[in-house]
Structure 1
Amino acid sequence: MLFQAGKLTVGIVLPIQPRDGGRDIDFGLQRELAARADELGFSALWVRDVPLNSASYPDPVGHSDPWVLLGALAASTRSITLATGAIVLPLRHPLHIAKAALSMDALSSGRFLLGLGSGDRPSEFSAFGRYVDERRELFRANWAELASALDGQVDGGTEFELRPRSGRPMPLVAVGSSSQSLEWIARNAFAWMTYHRPLAAQKDRIALWHNAVSRSTREFRGLGQAMALDLVDMTGDKAEEINLGYRTGPDGLYRALTDLRDLGVHHVALNLAVNRDKALADLRIIARDVLPRLSVG
């Protein structure tokens, strides 16, 4: 389980590669890194949905189709959770998402987690014939249809069903604000994945989340965040702020993660922008010097 009260798990965002030009992702490298993360005990691999690539945003990487990459990762790993972070719900038909999610869950033997976002690039919405100012309503409508389809209900005027069927409920995770209020997310999503903020600002945001959960439901709600990481040879537990994360050493990373755990965060997805050798070294160091300390509190 990625999201458990009082505990914190650590995942990895893919693709891992330098952001030094508009190169397409190296599938072989991502499969190698995924298998290594699985062996080392990381909890999740997060794959982004970037329908149309751009040199400037979200980053200069030629992102592949998320479902194709997830299929390759499922064949390369054994136990690690495979998650989307996030499928752009307003730009994809909910029945297509449901079909892909159920297939992915079956292919991975129940290791799939479906994260959904609203998207935030106006030009991308225009290319798909959608209006970005309607994404809030589109997100809600598509969420409802997707949730019903995953639960076995397809409204087509006749007798339809989606296969393969999952042997378990499929929890939905809201990623980012999803153009919704925190109360809406708390009512409808199993968990919320947000982005990195400086600790004081994140503390305030997490307090708002906990208040929204307490007002909206009596059920457990998971909380996670992404974190860019530049892991360096640094002693002590200090961490330098970088864009959406930290530059720090193993002790500083451990301190940052435990600070978040103490605030009620259950999962952190680390975003590395490094070459193969540095990625393998970073994964090994985190698994050796950080993950065991988290598991014993």
Structure 2
Amino acid sequence: MSLATTCKTGALELICRPEGGLTLGIELPLDNDWSAEREEKRLAEGRPFGVPDLTNYPDLVRQVDRSGFAAVWTRDVPVFDPHNFGDAGSVYDPFVNLGFLAGITENVALGTAAIVLPLRHPMMVAKAAASVDKLSGGRLILGVASGDRPVEYPLLGLDFEQRGEAFRDAVSYIRDAWKADGLPLGDGRIEPSLDLLPKPVQTQIPMIIAGQGRQTPEWIAANMQGRFVYPGGIERMAMQSRDWFVARKALGLSAGAFISAFHLDLADNPDEQATPRRFGARIGRRRFIDHLHALEDTGVNHLALLLRPARRPLTEVIDELARDVLPALKASFPAAKAALK
């Protein structure tokens, strides 16, 4: 498979290299509360499991932004459900958080992984997303999903089983609302006397799908500019990326972006072999670079690193990744940023 790809959709150029190769991003909330030492601190402070310590969050985001990473990713977890889904995610409302991130960063793409579209009115999603894109100078990547937590739907009086249809309708509405020819009414009609402001900086804010959204592979390839998949083994990732790129090519579309994640505990010893954990590993940086090159060879464009399992201080981990890991990848991030401008 050719490693060259084409991400000619605005902010996707920040995370996709046209000549191929892998970029790295950071998944928020930027704590390391899943380590044993931090777990003791959490218990001492009386914080529930899954609720991150966000004390140093702004400074860590600034460090990521100036260190050459391609993106930061925030999640959409409306309700903390400690019994059935013991992870509070990024805690803050994603669009409020993205507005804050737009103000304290200059370089990274701002991604969502992912907004649960059926839980929000599409007009408000369209306005919030366009606002973030405007405030950030065109750096938004709108990851979307149908949601996988049934507890949220009854709280809003919504039908969990109808989320696939609601997802499709929302995607169509949002794209219509970003155009300059009036406001969609939700039934296929456009009201030319009304409009939604602001309009995005990007000609088209790229949408990527996390999971399947209860959609067919054909619909996903035709309507999304990228896929964000759960972490998996090299063979599985190669198969998924190949299916994505083949489906896009069959429709005469550019390759788009294929994205995944990795839960990283970066060891002090750079040669420490991987000790697997769910969705990632404890691993030394040289062995991690080997893994990244293997992912590059499968066609993965971008990997979002979750650092919550890290045993070391996050400032050290981010610095080592920036100093020793990013330069080992096949191209430099500044070239991609220049392409966007």
TM-score over 0.5 for the pair: yes
| TM-score between both structures, scaled by the size of structure 2 | 0.81
Alignment of 1:241-252 (within 5 A): 241-252=276-287
Structure 2 vs 1, CA of residues 275 and 197 (structure 1 numbering), >3 Å: closer, same or farther?
A: closer
| TM-score between both structures, scaled by the size of structure 1 | 0.92
Match of 1:214 in 2: 249
Q: Please say which of residues 139-148 and 197-206 is displaced more in the overlay.
A: 197-206
Match of 1:204 in 2: 239
Match of 1:167 among 193, 201, 208: 201
CA distance in 1, matches of 2:88, 2:176: 36
Match of 1:194 in 2: 229
Match of 1:14 in 2: 28
Kindly indicate whether residue 75 of structure 2 is the aligned counterpart of residue 40 of structure 1.
no
Report if the CA contact (8 A) 1:118-1:178 is conserved. yes
CA distance in 1, matches of 2:141, 2:245: 22
Kindly indicate whether residue 16 of structure 2 is the aligned counterpart of residue 3 of structure 1.
yes
Q: Post-superposition shift, 1:62?
A: 7.1
CA distance in 1, matches of 2:311, 2:282: 19
Report if the CA contact (8 A) 2:114-2:145 is conserved. yes
Over the aligned positions, Cα root-mean-square deviation in angstroms equals 2.2
The higher-RCO structure (CA 8 Å, 6+ apart) is: 2
Match of 2:183 in 1: 154
Match of 1:66 among 94, 97, 117: 94
Unaligned stretches of 5+ residues in structure 1: none
Unaligned stretches of 5+ residues in structure 2: 1-13, 40-47, 186-190, 333-341
Q: Please say which of residues 148-157 and 41-50 is displaced more in the overlay.
A: 148-157
Report if the CA contact (8 A) 2:51-2:88 is conserved. no
Match of 1:82 in 2: 110
Kindly indicate whether residue 133 of structure 2 is the aligned counterpart of residue 105 of structure 1.
yes
Q: Post-superposition shift, 1:280?
A: 0.9
SS of structure 2 residue aligned to 1:122? coil
Residues matched between the structures, number? 297
Q: Please say which of residues 89-98 and 155-164 is displaced more in the overlay.
A: 155-164
Structure 2 vs 1, CA of residues 94 and 276 (structure 1 numbering), >3 Å: closer, same or farther?
A: farther
Identity over aligned residues, as a percent?
34
Letter aligned with residue 239 of structure 2: D
Report if the CA contact (8 A) 1:27-1:69 is conserved. no
Report if the CA contact (8 A) 1:23-1:62 is conserved. no
SS of structure 1 residue aligned to 2:209? strand
Deviations 1:33-64 (A, max 9, x none): 11000111111010001111111426255712
